[in-house]
Structure 1
Amino acid sequence: MKLRITILLTLIIGLFSSELHAQQAQSDYKIQQTFKEQYADYQQQIEDVTSPDSAEKVIDSIKQFEQRYNKHQELLDKALYPDTYEQKMEELKKSSVRTLNKIETITEQKSQLQELENQLASYEQDLNQLDQQTDSLKNAIRKSTESEKELSNMVRKYRQNLEKRDELILTFIDSMVVTYQDMDLEALEEIENYDQKSRIKTNDALKLIHDISEENIQILQRNASSLQLDDYMRMAEVNYQFQSMWNKLGDKIHEVYEGENADMLADNINGNLTKWNSLLQSNTLDAVKEYFAQQDIETASFKSANEFYTALDSYLDQKIKESKDNRSDENYSDLQKFKEFWDRVEVQWTSNLAYADVLSREQTTELNQKVDEWTKIAQPRSNNILVYLLGGSVLLAVALGVMLIREKKNSGSA
């Protein structure tokens, strides 16, 4: 009887242990499967996040997920072999942080682009308004029957409008540089994946750059008679800054503002800049000719930048030789007139002339040495004689004074 009871108990315990083992195995399997399913869900959430807030929520949830399964690490190592639980969790956490950083970058750049869009609208409006005013003035000047004084005031107002336009373009360039120079194009490409509505579909920036380059060509083509050398020197600075911005950022701007006509606009801009440079150079040379004619500076004729440098170089050599051979008032007067022009070159226009491809910095330096040499020897001889006579008079007066003093002393002692 006891034996039967023992056997029965053994069977019951064995069955119970088997059941417990089966339940334990089933529970372990469920833990492993649930972990894998939730892990895959977090991977999907990381791919689907669209804002920094949602990315941070996923990161916090992953931390809680890790805390729940830390105690099952050994069990999960078996299910994840050859990977480990620790490796998989580290991979998930790094992925979530990378996504957060990417989303933050995208959000910041979206904000910058939107701000730039608003600025572009303002720039375009202001430029259009200035262009309309400038065109109206140009038409009025062309049709004017007013007095010379009234016409002169209209021309001055016209030039002031062009100056305001150039200032606005420089501000626009600064905005483009600030927005685009550190822009991450790879992150921008992700904008469509995260939020298609936020992708900027317009060609506003590219279009505005194109329109500015077109308008600048038109200004140079149709306004030569109304502009002076000062205007072209200012335009040379604008041209240099504009072209530097395009050379540095053109590819990024083209990439961001994709559209059906983006390639055409970019190609036109490159062509316009080449034409702009050529017109600026030729108009500047014409303005220099007019300035020289007004100031009676008689250099050899020139039609190109190389000829201009040669004309100045020859003119200075001739004037230096004249000064050495015969210092005269006429030569000295020529120096004063030329130095009035050259002082502005040296102080204000060295960079601008280089930007306009009229005189390189090296050429300006070489010419400046000759201007200095001319200055040293151009003093008229008549002026030098006066200096010598004046010096002799002073010495004679001193000698007479000494003699009088001695005469008085001698008289007193007698």
Structure 2
Amino acid sequence: MKKVMTTTISTLAALLLFASASVMAQQSDYQVQQDFRADYNEITDRINSAASSDDVSDINDQIDQLEADYSGYEELLNAALYPDTFEDRVAILRTSLGGAESNIEVVNELNERIEGLQAEIDEFRTQIAQMDEDSEAVRQRLERASANERRLSGLVTQYRQNLESRDEFVSDFLENLLNRYQAMDSQTQSEIAEASESLEDDPLSLLRTILSEYINQADRETGLEAQDYLRMRAQHAYFETVWDRVGSRMANAYASDSPVQAEQEITDLLAAWQASVDNKLWNALSTAFNQNGIELPAFTSENAFNNALNSFVDNASATAREQNEEADVQLYESFSNYWNNTVKSDWGEYLTTGNVLSQGQIASIDVKLGDWARSAEPVSNLMFILFLISLAVIIGLIVLLVTKKS
């Protein structure tokens, strides 16, 4: 009996020990699964919040450690993670980390571009401000000088050179904008819009400043001449062309909250600039022609200017055909010389790029000048003189014959 009881107790103890071991094993397996999930989630959170290349490097080491720590429990984790596997989860972490690294590189690149852009804008503002200051100083000297002093001192020439240098500098800036923004896609515009919030200044603000100064420049009385205003008109045309190509992209990038309004502000400033230039241009052109003995009909627009030129040439050519006087030749030579040596030679590029006259319109006037030249050419009186001499000889012979018969 005692032996039976001893056997029974031993059996129960063995069962209890087995059950305890089984429970401990289950608890250990469960703990491994829980620990893996906790470590996995921690790494996932770190990936989502990664902000630098150092973060990426640390997280990559953490993934390597996770893989090393749990590789011995792969079968257990495969069963717990089904239909995923342990290798799948490690691969997901590495893929997510690669995506985060790419995003960080994009952000870093954008930040570098924004910093570079800010530096460019600051440098440009400094230089353009210095140019404006120099031009203003010369302009004020012009206002204080008499007409004779202006001619002798060359102040107008200096002022003109300052304006030309400023135009070249602005043109280089516009070329840079064209190259940078013309092919920009919508995704890049959105990225720049987000990054540009940290900008203290932006290209749109700079463009508004440049245009405002151009308007002020055109409105001032500075003793400039037709060629100067034609150059302004050409500069305006180039500015407008660049804005037409990149305006909407720049507005979306740097004024994402109100891009339409931002774009319209620049467009309105461009229109105001052209109006200020034209306010001086047409009178300056009329004066220039008048000073060379060419009184054109009144004009206040591109089409009216072209019509005035054609009307003058047509009327002068018709008068030359009818009267054929020396004055007609002199007028032709005066117009032809001024047209070829000043208008086409000195103004030609500004006229065409500023959309004042087209190449075709200039060519048309050239053709009419040829007709005018033929009309103004003096008609030879030699045949008429020979006719009178012949007539006088015949009359003399008749008189002689009549006298002899008498």
Q: Give the TM-score of the pair, scaled to structure 2.
A: 0.73
> Out of 229, 232, 236, which is 2:229 matched to?
232
Q: Residues 20 and 238 of structure 1: is their aligned pair in 2 closer, same or farther, counting only changes over 3 Å?
A: farther
Greater CA deviation, 183-192 or 50-59?
A: 183-192
In structure 2, the residue matched to 1:400 is: none
Matches of 1:94 and 1:34, distance apart in 2: 22
Greater CA deviation, 328-337 or 286-295?
A: 328-337
Q: Deviations over 1:276-307 (max 9, x none)?
A: 12223343333322332233344322112221
1:294 corresponds to which letter in structure 2?
Q
Q: Residues 124 and 303 of structure 1: is their aligned pair in 2 closer, same or farther, counting only changes over 3 Å?
A: same
Q: Residues 26 and 188 of structure 1: is their aligned pair in 2 closer, same or farther, counting only changes over 3 Å?
A: farther
In structure 1, the residue matched to 2:300 is: 303
Conserved 8 A contact 2:193-2:254: no
Using the TM superposition, give the Cα deviation of residue 76 of structure 1 relative to its aligned residue in structure 2, in angstroms.
3.1
In structure 2, the residue matched to 1:378 is: 373
2:56 corresponds to which letter in structure 1?
A
Matched, 1:209 2:207: yes
Matched, 1:123 2:124: yes
**Residue ranges of structure 2 left out of the alignment (5+ in a row):** 381-406
Using the TM superposition, give the Cα deviation of residue 124 of structure 1 relative to its aligned residue in structure 2, in angstroms.
1.9
Matches of 2:90 and 2:318, distance apart in 1: 87
Q: Residues 189 and 265 of structure 1: is their aligned pair in 2 closer, same or farther, counting only changes over 3 Å?
A: closer
In structure 1, the residue matched to 2:349 is: 348
Using the TM superposition, give the Cα deviation of residue 19 of structure 1 relative to its aligned residue in structure 2, in angstroms.
4.1
In structure 2, the residue matched to 1:168 is: 169
Matches of 2:320 and 2:148, distance apart in 1: 45
Q: Residues 241 and 377 of structure 1: is their aligned pair in 2 closer, same or farther, counting only changes over 3 Å?
A: closer
Conserved 8 A contact 1:144-1:151: no
Q: Residues 144 and 82 of structure 1: is their aligned pair in 2 closer, same or farther, counting only changes over 3 Å?
A: same
Matches of 1:7 and 1:324, distance apart in 2: 146
Q: Please give the secondary structure, in 1, of the residue aligned with 2:198.
A: coil
The 5 A counterparts of 1:281-300 are 281-300=278-297
2:273 corresponds to which letter in structure 1?
W
Greater CA deviation, 370-379 or 280-289?
A: 370-379
Q: Residues 217 and 239 of structure 1: is their aligned pair in 2 closer, same or farther, counting only changes over 3 Å?
A: same
Q: Deviations over 1:371-395 (max 9, x none)?
A: 246437735886999xxxxxxxxxx
Q: Residues 305 and 261 of structure 1: is their aligned pair in 2 closer, same or farther, counting only changes over 3 Å?
A: same
Conserved 8 A contact 1:232-1:280: yes
Matched, 1:156 2:151: no
Matches of 2:195 and 2:210, distance apart in 1: 29
The 5 A counterparts of 1:57-136 are 57-66=58-67, 68-69=69-70, 72-81=73-82, 83-136=84-137
Q: Residues 320 and 381 of structure 1: is their aligned pair in 2 closer, same or farther, counting only changes over 3 Å?
A: closer
Q: Deviations over 1:215-265 (max 9, x none)?
A: 111111113x52233333433343234344545555665566679999997
2:32 corresponds to which letter in structure 1?
I
Conserved 8 A contact 1:42-1:58: yes
Conserved 8 A contact 1:134-1:162: yes
Q: Please give the secondary structure, in 2, of the residue aligned with 1:295.
A: coil
Q: Please give the secondary structure, in 2, of the residue aligned with 1:335.
A: helix
Q: Residues 307 and 245 of structure 1: is their aligned pair in 2 closer, same or farther, counting only changes over 3 Å?
A: closer
Using the TM superposition, give the Cα deviation of residue 185 of structure 1 relative to its aligned residue in structure 2, in angstroms.
3.9
Q: Which has the larger radius of gyration?
A: 2
Matched, 1:186 2:157: no
Matches of 1:184 and 1:171, distance apart in 2: 23
Matches of 1:13 and 1:342, distance apart in 2: 117
2:280 corresponds to which letter in structure 1?
N
Identity %: 25
1:213 corresponds to which letter in structure 2?
L
Conserved 8 A contact 1:59-1:97: no
Matched, 1:39 2:36: no
Q: Please give the secondary structure, in 2, of the residue aligned with 1:378.
A: helix
Number of equivalences:
372
Q: Residues 75 and 190 of structure 1: is their aligned pair in 2 closer, same or farther, counting only changes over 3 Å?
A: farther
Q: Please give the secondary structure, in 2, of the residue aligned with 1:208.
A: helix
Using the TM superposition, give the Cα deviation of residue 154 of structure 1 relative to its aligned residue in structure 2, in angstroms.
0.9
Conserved 8 A contact 2:237-2:354: no
Conserved 8 A contact 1:76-1:85: yes
Matches of 2:100 and 2:321, distance apart in 1: 78
Matched, 1:220 2:218: yes
2:133 corresponds to which letter in structure 1?
Q
